[in-house]
Structures are given as structure tokens and as C-alpha cells.
Amino acid sequence: MSMDFAPPKYAQVMRAIQERIESGEYAPGDMLPSETQLVRELGVGRTTVVRALQTLAMQGWIEREHGRGSFVKGRPESGADRVRPSLTATEQGESPESLVEVARVSAPRYVAKLLGVAERTPVIMRRRAAREGDLPSAVETVWIPLEIAVGSDLDKPEPLRSGIRRHLQAVKHLRFDHITERVTARKPTKDEVELLGSSNPVLGVLSTVHDPAGTVLLAMSLALPGSLHELEDVYKVS
Amino acid sequence: MSMDFAPPKYAQVMRAIQERIESGEYAPGDMLPSETQLVRELGVGRTTVVRALQTLAMQGWIEREHGRGSFVKGRPESGADRVRPSLTATEQGESPESLVEVARVSAPRYVAKLLGVAERTPVIMRRRAAREGDLPSAVETVWIPLEIAVGSDLDKPEPLRSGIRRHLQAVKHLRFDHITERVTARKPTKDEVELLGSSNPVLGVLSTVHDPAGTVLLAMSLALPGSLHELEDVYKVS
DNA sequence: AATGGCCACTCGTCCGCACAAGTGGCCGAG
DNA sequence: CTCGGCCACTTGTGCGGACGAGTGGCCATT
């Protein structure tokens, strides 16, 4: 009784072609074998070959031209290699040295706006100074509504070794769904200058973390010194 | 002799289902009619229905569960609402007032690196000061390799009314495929201070524009005053 | 030499059919 | 009542065939 699963044939065909592209056997610009040739070569039906080719085209590996053939484009860029500073911040663990402050404060206007609550509503604030080697590399401030923080230890000055995301998932069963992020350039605040040891311009990132229903779970403010951080992004042009 | 084109049937099936989802006839969570029911109802083959449903699933409209059925998820979020400053810059037209300078210069190190040429290679530089109303809102500098610029009028100090992208497409048949972009925070250069009328921190955007083969067509450097610009982004969390 | 038609080749779409495999309810044996 | 098997339903995958339509080269006619 063998428990071996064979992936579907169309996926095998896709893999075969992807490997030939990555190995350089099929170079960008080359024409692929025609559908009927692949049918003969691989011993599958045309339906299967067509499905594989169309999926590859949708994923950006190849381009298909009616009446001419299918042509290699290369390994598609995922666009997922984009830097997402807010997500990183929620996943990084806190250490005793990096955790700067945990406090219950009344929400400043911009935080209240992000959280969708009234100004001066009490919230929990956690601030952390990330380090790269010896040097301070970023200041991350998280603001948590009381409803979310209650019973989660987030109001206690103990470092969260596993990061906020895992912590909220484990303790309160909250799932992160998406993050909205706004990046600008600004001067660091006085607090940030102290922690960073420099008053050079910073990338200011304001973000909110949402659950699947769209409810705001957290707000965040990051200060990333421009001399240390670059946000890279690759995108297709229509 | 009628010239009417009918879209392919699988696309018609997709449209029909999308409309029913948007009208609320099929609400999120609902089970769609089974494949065989849709076959009867719409008078097409199962192949067609399956292709439509699988494409809808790939686009995030529905979810399919083996042995259970297909279920409505709702209109998918595009994620394409992200701000792409470099793309905007290549599409914006130049006006006589905004165009600051066009010159043939030897490429500074960082530009040579972006373009993949030797330092001090001659290149064309075009600089533009974008305005929002009366106020200067950004400085955009484009660097064009001579091979690309030759015979394109890009080296002439005439404003490109239609933007660089359209111009290169029309005159030299060059197609933009993707853009890579690196954003950081920095102080504006002296030139930029003059044009912007302020020395507040700017978002510094360095980008390269590529054709489908990956060749670099242009390099760009943007200075976006932090007080005026925010780069917004929304992303899913795995 | 230029032109237009033919033809072989390509991909695009669609059909009907078949069988595998997952799910859940019904029902009879225990 | 409980459990296990059966069955009807679902989607997943695969085949072969058919016709349409776009492309480009060959070739005879002009």
C-alpha cells in the first residue's frame, strides 16, 4: 500500500517548463515548443498542456501570442519581495534592552484618528528601539486600544519575546488580515532623536493593523532613519 | 456584414456570476449553483463553466472546496491602489514653466550604477519641477542613456507635452514593462532646495524603468517634500 | 519586382465524456 | 442508540476531437 501522491499532470508540465526556463535551456525571448509538440514529447493531452501554459502565462512566466507561439519571459517577479516595515515590526520580538517604555496614555489626535476613537481616549502605548548591531536603527511605537489590550499582558512592561502578532494570536485569538501604511519623510521628534542619536531625516511610517472584518487592532508609528533604510519595490507597468 | 465581437463564453459566464455577486443575489458565504446546474442554466459545456469558476477563484471572487461546492467571497481587493510615484512621473506631461533643465552630462556614480554603465558615460538629463497650484511640489530628474535618447528629441529642451512614457512609445517604439523603486528619507540637495523653496526633509525616490527584456531604459531621481507627500499602501498579511 | 492568394502552422475556445476523490446524509446491522 | 457502509452529490483532473482565427512563408500571377 503506497501512500505516494503524484501532483496533477498539468502541474508536472508546469514544473518541467519552469525548470527548463530556470536552467537556461529556454532563454527569455525563446519560443517554446508548440502545444502539439509538447503533447507528443510529454505524452499528455492537449487540454493538459494548454492548461499548464495558460497558468504559466497568468503567472507571468511566459507570454502567448495567438498564431505565433508561446515565448519565454523568465521567472516572474513576485512583488512580494517588497519591504513591509510595519509587518516586520509586529513580528519582531522585544528584548529587555530594546523595550523603552510601556504606558497607559491618552491618545494624541493622530493616533485617535488612526484607531477611530475619540481624542484623549486612554490607550496602551509600547515603544521599542530596534538595534542593528550596536547602533539604534529604528523607533517603533505601537498603540493598542484598551478593548484589545485587556487581558493580554500588553499593558505590562514585560518584553514580548515572540512579537505582538504571535502574542495577540495566541492569547486573544486575534488574526491579522491586512495592514495600511502611509510613508512620508520628516524630522525625528525629540524623543526619537534621543533614541536614535541623530537628527537626520527619517522615514515616518504610520500604519494600522486590521482583522478580517476591517476592525482596527493596532496603530503604529515608525521612525526609520533615512541613512539606514530603503524601502524597495518593483511593480509592473500596465 | 456585422462587425460585432462576442466575448468568449467563459468570460460571459464570469461576468454573469460577478454581476450576481455585486447585485447581492449571491451574498458572501453563499454557495454557488453547482457546475452541472450552471451548465444547464447557461447552456454551455462544463469545460466552460469550470474555466470561468477557476478563473474567478484565482482572482479571489469565490472559493472552491472539493466535494462541497463553490462559495462567494465578494469583490476582490485589488491592492493596486498603491501610490507609484515613479510611474506617475513618467506619465505626466512637461510644461514650459515646469521644465527646468535639459543637458548632456557625464553620469554621476549613482546614476551610472542605476543605468548599468561606466561612471562618467555621457547621458541626457532632464529635470522638472512639478507644481501643485502655485507651490513647487516635487523635483523629478530623469537620466536617459544616449542609445535610448538618440533620435527621440529627448535631448532637446522642448517640453514633452505627453510625458516621457508616451513619447518613447510613440517615437522609438519602446515599451515600459516594470519599474524598480527605492525610497528613503534625506535632506534635499542644494538644487532641490532652490526649486522647492524649503530645506525640509524629502522622500528620495531612486528608480529604474525596464523594458520587457529587463533592459534599463531610464533612471529617475525624485525629491518629494515630506510635508506634501504620503505614499500609501495596503497589503494582506499572509 | 510587386502583389495577392493559398496553405501550413500557431494558439483560442468549446464540447462531451470519463473517472478520481472529497463530503455529507440516509439507513440498516449490530 | 451507535457505527459503518452505501450512495448521491460535489469539485478535480484528464482525454480526444472539433472549429475558429492570427501569422508568415511560398508561389503563381500580374
Per-residue burial over B22-56, b = 16 or more CB atoms within 10 Å of its CB, e = otherwise: eeeebeeeeebbeeeebbeebebeeebbbbbbbbb
Q: Which residues pair with A186 in a beta bridge?
A: A202
CA B80 / C1′ C7 distance in Å:
45
pLDDT band at A4 (very low <50, low <70, confident <90, very high): very low
Q: Contact A179/B237, CB-based, under 8 Å?
A: yes
CA B66 / C1′ D18 distance in Å:
30
The 8 Å CB, 24+ separation contacts for B171-176 are: B172/B148, B174/B148, B174/B211, B174/B217, B175/B211, B175/B212, B176/A237, B176/B90, B176/B209, B176/B210, B176/B211, B176/B217
What integer pLDDT is reported at residue A230 of this predicted model? Answer: 84
Domain at B85-225: CATH code: 3.40.1410.10
Amino acid identity, position B30 = D
pLDDT band at A220 (very low <50, low <70, confident <90, very high): very high
- B152, B167 Cβ separation under 8 angstroms: yes
Top mean-pLDDT range of A97-101, A171-175, B32-36: B32-36
Per-residue burial over A104-125, b = 16 or more CB atoms within 10 Å of its CB, e = otherwise: eeebeeebbebbebeeeeebbb
What average pLDDT does the structure give for chain B? 88
Q: Is B169 a residue whose pLDDT tops 90?
A: no
Q: Is A6 a residue whose pLDDT tops 80?
A: no
Q: Contact B184/A230, CB-based, under 8 Å?
A: yes
Return the percent helix, strand and coil in chain B, to nearest 5.
30, 30, 40
Q: Is B217 a residue whose pLDDT tops 90?
A: yes
Question: How much is the average pLDDT of A69-96?
Answer: 79
Digit-coded pLDDT (tens) for A25-81: 998 888 999 999 999 989 899 999 999 999 999 888 998 988 889 999 887 765 555
- B71, B32 Cβ separation under 8 angstroms: yes
CA distance B99 to B158: 8
Nearest Cβ partner for A201 among B77, B201, B232: B201
Q: Contact B236/A178, CB-based, under 8 Å?
A: yes
pLDDT band at B62 (very low <50, low <70, confident <90, very high): very high
- For chain A, give the number of residues: 238
For residue B212, give the DSSP letter: T
Per-residue burial over B184-210, b = 16 or more CB atoms within 10 Å of its CB, e = otherwise: bbbbbbeebbebbeeebbbbbbbbbbb
Cell of A146: 484598551
Give one DSSP letter per residue of B171-204, joined into a string: HH-----EEEEEEEEEPPPHHHHHHHT--S-EEE
What average pLDDT does the structure give for chain A? 88
Nucleic strand D near CB of residue A42 (< 7 Å): no
Nearest Cβ partner for A184 among B182, B214, B230: B230
Nearest Cβ partner for B184 among A74, A186, A229: A229
For the B9-72 domain, the top CATH level (class) is mainly alpha
Nucleotide nearest to B50 (CA to C1'): D11
CA B8 / C1′ D19 distance in Å:
14
For residue A189, how far is the Cα from the chain centroid? 27
pLDDT band at A170 (very low <50, low <70, confident <90, very high): confident
Q: Is B29 a residue whose pLDDT tops 50?
A: yes
Is B79 in a helix, a strand, or coil?
Answer: coil
Nucleic strand C near CB of residue A41 (< 7 Å): no
Top mean-pLDDT range of A82-96, B79-93, B209-223: B209-223
Q: Is the pTM of this model over 0.90?
A: no
Going by C-alpha positions, the residue among B209, B109, B140, B204 that lies closest to residue A230 is: B204
Q: Contact A184/B213, CB-based, under 8 Å?
A: no
**C-alpha distance from A128 to closest chain B C-alpha (Å):** 21
Domain locations in chain B?
9-72, 85-225
For residue B34, give the DSSP letter: P
CA distance A129 to A131: 6
Decide if A170 touches B, using CB distance below 8 A: no
Nucleotide nearest to B45 (CA to C1'): C15
How many other C-beta atoms lie within 10 A of the C-beta of residue A35?
A: 15
